[in-house]
Amino acid sequence: MPVEGPGDVLVRRASPRDHLGVMRVLDGANLELSAETAERRIDAGTAVVADHDNRIVGALVAVRRDDGAHVEAIAVRRRRRANGVGSALVEFAAEQWTPLTADFDPDVKPFYESLGFDCEKRGERYRGVLD
């Protein structure tokens, strides 16, 4: 069920018609996720979008695990960043899948910690878990 995000943004599961918008947001953030993978995740119901007037302004793509899901990519359009869109995407995903895990670079660790993820250093990156 869609939920209201920050401001005039609606957070909901992605539908097949959102594929191009999801790819544009991910590409704009220089994230490497193939179009085929995004399409599979949308079809599986594990992609979430932040929608503003039928324009995708943020996307989270996850893969289901036996227990919960793992975030493969999350991105927000540059001019919508720091306005709660990314937080709303993660919160929506966490309500759907528990635990929610993510692997990420040190520069985004504060973002994940602010959402309640338990973060552990793994080599050059971090693994976060939200129960």
Q: Is 35 left (phi over 0), alpha (psi -120 to 50) or beta?
A: alpha
Q: Is 0.75 surpassed by the pTM of this model?
A: yes
pLDDT tens digits for 48-78? Answer: 999 998 899 999 999 999 999 999 999 998 8
- pLDDT tens for 100-109 read 999 999 999 9
Q: What is the per-residue pLDDT for 8?
A: 84
CATH numbers and ranges of domains, the chain = 3-98 (3.40.630.30)
